[in-house]
Amino acid sequence: MKLSNLRPAEGSVKTSKRIGRGQGSGRGGTSTKGHKGAQSRTGYKIKMGFEGGQMPLQRRIPKFGFTNINKIYSKAINLDVLQNLVDTKNIFDIDFDVLYTNGLVSKSDVVKVLGRGELKSKINVKLNSFSKTASDAITSLGGTFEIVK
């Protein structure tokens, strides 16, 4: 094998259509764009959701529901995730920065600790909120939890 005889794999490279190169090519004249209309002209761009003048789907389907602008959505972190941090990284003091550096939460998240899984180690946790089962599990092993706003 030499640089002079390198070729792409068979069938991986297609030759492009040469349009607008005269009548004899079979793709001259209108250059495969048909006759007249917006699609044959330069600068044509269809709006997203446009259905040719038919009432688009997004306007046919009724609006419903309600979004409360004051609701605070929490990112749930369970006890088994905290135990996994203790087992793999040997971290016993857990706060938002620890969860962020390990890729478990994003910068703008509000974190709530939930009680799924089993906690086997004594840990100290400082996060936004805790469920009753999570706080009981943490304190039963001698650990502490602190609510940080």
Residue 80 lies in a domain: yes
Q: Is residue 52 part of a domain?
A: no
Using pLDDT thresholds of 50, 70 and 90, give the confidence band for residue 29: very high
Determine the average pLDDT of the residues in 27-43: 93
Rounded to 5 degrees, what angle do the CA atoms 38, 44, 49 make?
95
Take residue 11 and report the two structure tokens written for it. 């069938």
Q: How big is the chain by its Cα radius of gyration, in Å?
A: 31
**Count of structural domains, the chain:** 1
pLDDT at position 1: 84
Q: Is 34 part of a structural domain of the chain?
A: no
Residue 133 lies in a domain: yes
What's the domain range around 143? 75-147
Q: Let me know if residue 98 belongs to a domain.
A: yes
Q: What CATH number has the domain bearing residue 96?
A: 3.100.10.10
Express each pLDDT in 86-128 by its tens digit.
999 999 999 999 999 999 999 999 999 999 999 999 999 999 9
Residue 45 burial (CB < 10 Å; 0-12/13-18/19+)? Answer: exposed
